[in-house]
Amino acid sequence: MERTETPTSVLTFLFADIEGSTRLVEAHGHAASVALARYHELVADTAARHGGRLFERIGDGAYASFPDPVAAVTAADELQQAIVDEDWGSVGRIRIRIAMVTGEVEVREDDRYYGTSLFRAARLQGLAGGGETLVAGTTVDALDGFVPEGGVLRDLGTQRLRDVSEPERVFALVHTSRARLAETPQADESERQGTESMTEEEGPIRVLLVDDHAVVRRGLRGFLELIKDFDVVGEAENGREGVAAADRLVPDVILMDLLMPEMGGLEAIAAIKQAHPEIEIVAVTSFIEEEKVTSALEAGASGYLLKDAEAEEVAQAIRAAYNGEVHLDPAVSRLLAQRMRARKDAEPVEPLTAREKEVLSQLAKGASNKEIAYELGITERTARTHVSNILGKLALASRTQAALYAVEHKLV
């Protein structure tokens, strides 16, 4: 009897599931079941709209295949946004993990697939966190340079997948609402102004927690997840993991402990700000040391909090950082103010020019270089140069110290 060969096909697979689905069901019962059904509808509809098909559903797992990798990645990007935009009722919010792998599989008569690509997709999904889309190198290669508009593929390097002999090159598809706004050349000015409208249009502020104490992270996450405009997108237990998580997740704001093993907070802040200047970082520590405060601010921190800060102050610091403002613990502000007062009557070695005084006045308002440039009608590069000159003339270590100097000398 002649053996019939099983046909094969090169497909891109999208594996999705819900983060913490068991906890959602236990906490919300029927409402969670309704949300689960709607989630499956979104996956099926999004896949079909881009030429794919949902070939399997198991619990909260939804598995789709696509003949075109570009269509598959586009569908994944749209699906993540659809999950964010959906009203989940009393459940509040759900986040999904997506993994994408391209490869050859056998296609049986019952339209079922068999092959290692499916296994690799399942294992890759195990590396993802809620809200993340991880893309295998095989899929990225097949995209031929394509990335969804406003999106970025972050190279996470070679990863070992559990029970898979060959390592996998992994990328994270990052597509935040902030990226969408920033890359829209003709965005209305109204879209760029106002904290409330920005939050409503962009969704919650995406926060990453970096602290070596699990109890601290759990407490912060528990508090922040009760607030509608915050979304804790990940955690890390040391500076090195924090840098990697920042690359992978590109959060809006990071709460960064300063004293951690492997890599401390100061080094991590500097590394993250160099790679992602758009990410705001709030330094968090148990005690005040003037050297630590100034070092954190010099490294690029947008705020400085003590660990015994009230929960609402933590929330205020995150919102302030997100909006480009500096938030300091009151004790830290007093420390820096005292230092400024000690030199209150001292004149700078070289007097400030009229333009530098205008820039200093903007610094006192917490303005970024881009905002200073807009307000004064100069380029961002020129604004940056003025800020550097001001710090040099006044022998100050940070923008925050410059702001305090302006207040003390009534230059605001």
Residue 194 lies in a domain: no
318 and 382 in a common domain: no
* Res. 194 pLDDT band, cuts 50 70 90: very low
Number of domains forming the structure of the chain: 3
Which of 64 and 322 is assigned the larger pLDDT? 64
> What single string gives the DSSP state of each residue in 216-248?
HHHHHHHHHTTSTTEEEEEEESSHHHHHHHHHH
* Distance in angstroms (rounded) separating the CA atoms of residues 73 and 80: 11
| Tens-place pLDDT, residues 321-369 | 888 777 777 766 666 655 555 555 555 456 788 888 888 888 887 777 8
- Of 337, 352, 372, which residue constitutes the final position of a domain? 337
| Tens-place pLDDT, residues 221-278 | 878 877 778 888 889 999 999 999 998 888 999 999 998 988 999 999 999 988 888 8
Closest alpha carbon to 269 in 231, 242, 292, 304: 242
208 and 325 in a common domain: yes
Residue 115 lies in a domain: yes
- CATH at 63: 3.30.70.1230
Residue 319 lies in a domain: yes
Residue 187 lies in a domain: no
* pLDDT of the residue at 197: 35
332 and 364 in a common domain: no
Residues 6+ apart with CB under 8 A from 11: 65, 66, 67, 102, 103, 105, 113, 117
266 and 171 in a common domain: no
17 and 166 in a common domain: yes
125 and 25 in a common domain: yes
| Tens-place pLDDT, residues 17-43 | 998 888 788 888 899 999 999 999 999
Tokens 């005084």, located at residue: 357
Query: Is a pLDDT exceeding 90 seen at residue 192?
Result: no
9 phi, psi to nearest 5 deg:
-150, 145
217 and 123 in a common domain: no
143 and 282 in a common domain: no
Query: Is a pLDDT exceeding 60 seen at residue 196?
Result: no
pTM for this entry? 0.52
Find the domain containing 132 and state its range: 8-175
